[in-house]
Amino acid sequence: MKISSLQEQRYAYQPKLPAMLRGGVAEISVKEGADTQSVADQEKIRALFPNTYGKKEITFEKGVNTSENKKQTVGVILSGGQAPGGHNVICGLYDALKAQSADNQLYGFKGGPSGLIEDDFVIFDDAFINAYRNTGGFDIIGSGRTKLETEEQFAIVEKVCKSHGITALVIIGGDDSNTNAAVLAEYFAAKQAGIQVIGCPKTIDGDLKNEDIECSFGFDTATKTYSEIIGNIERDAKSAKKYWHFVKVMGRSASHVALECALQTQPNVCLISEEVAAKKMSLAQITDILASSVADRAAQGMNYGVALIPEGVVEFVPEFSVLIHEINELLAGARADRFNALPSWEEKYAFIQQGLTAESMAVFAILPQAIQQQLFLERDPHGNVQVSLIESEKLFSAMVKENLAARKAQGTYKGKFSPLHHFLGYEGRCAFPSNFDSDYCYSLGYNAFMLISYGYTGYLSKISNLSEPAESWVAGGMPITKMMNMERRHGEDKPVIKKALVELDGAPFRYFAERREEWRTNTCYVYPGAIQYYGPAEVCDATTVTLALEQGK
């Protein structure tokens, strides 16, 4: 007897669509809403996007399809880091395209945006698509981080598309990728090139969202995957009773992942980068928060615990940001060569001491030596400190160790401190998508084709009302320019999609803040376990705690 594997069962899973997208494309009509404007810098964004700015929000509904009935040849790319569900966006796009006409074609450009530039593609068919349904990863065509941002690149993309008869592109990516999609759409509209551009919101970091985009795809699966591991670590900590686990999770620009994992697992401490910045917390203050949890639990005989650390937290510490700036200035130009030529760390340390201000030197001095050296040895091609490489989980555990040693010398701490370190990153980016992400991503792709068929460009595929069952989801689209503002990038003002940070007055953070004091000293761990694909809907189709709280559930 052959026993089916989970993978084989997932191939057969039929993702759920919003009710308005069910029954075939012939029964989907469009309803236009109000005109839109950008989230900020309206006049500047309007000037940069004269052909695509201010378009109406749209919603699909049951009714007669009034779109032009013509053959559709569409191209699709995956852009940026992986996120669970990307394959289903492509599958939903393919199924909708074929539902309109078997003659329609879908080109997948390989390796991300560079595939468009290099004209490296595959034409999808049923057999190809069926091998990737409901699976994790981006291996169906691969991804890449090449930016489409110059007119020379746009001209090449236009030429490649026209050589294949492609009249629409779907760009599946995060905030930068969809910013590029908006710029590309504007270029094509200005030239009347006849090529539409539609984006789909992807990132496990959760920072591509607003009042319209309730959740970026992949966030649900990634945080559930990390939370399973964190729950396992908590159970092990409670069993062994002798280790403090410092767990770093992804999220350099925002702490949505850390907050969601905390809501799911209730660790003893979870740092939130946005709170660190808002309160202008120092490294010493953060360390004291962590050390106090260790000491208070030790006083109860519990020499173990779990702390969650967002990947980018040190960049939110004001004094640390100043230190990094001064280090970059200190090693600019020929001074870097003089520094590198010094034979010993002692001599390099003296060089650093002479070059930093007293305030920054005080911050530098409290860092563990391994981190000090890392700041000066790990540099990017421009000579700047690579902050993302700093092992913040090790940084804080080392500083906590020193803090506890001082407490022990004062007689205020008598416990034992044995730290262990973890970084949860790649483990979640390509996981088998949850039912939520399988359904959501399939709907995003199906919906993207409906936007194309009705002639929209410069729009983001939008599925909302996500805290309800899939049949109650609302499908539509919003102009990408609605999400944009101006930011300073590499010395120039650039139009970019505004990142969504954790809102300190939002329901998810407030829920966390009301409970963290109890979690800090007591053992309140929750063990979510593995993602469930079969069983009661309240288990298998559950959303993240973040989304439920934001929607008042």
Count the Cβ atoms, other than its own, within 10 Å of residue 279: 12
Could you tell me whether strands 28-35 and 56-62 are parallel, antiparallel, or unpaired per DSSP bridges? antiparallel
3-class SS letters over 160-208: HHHHHCCCEEEEEECHHHHHHHHHHHHHHHHHCCCCEEEEEEECCCCCC
Q: Which of these is catalytic: 205, 220, 439, 541?
A: 205
Beta bridge partners of 306: 245
**Six-digit token pair at 511?**
């829920």
CB 229 within 8 A of CB 249: no
Q: Alpha-carbon dihedral of residues 540, 542, 543, 546, nearest 10 degrees?
A: -130
Cα separation of 195 and 75, whole Å?
10
Segment (H or E) for 240: helix 219-240
Answer yes or no: 205 catalytic: yes
Burial class (CB in 10 A: 0-12, 13-18, 19+), 128: middle
Give which of 427, 377, 373, 379 is closest to 398, Cα–Cα: 373
CB 417 within 8 A of CB 69: no
Cα separation of 511 and 517, whole Å?
12
* Catalytic site positions: 205
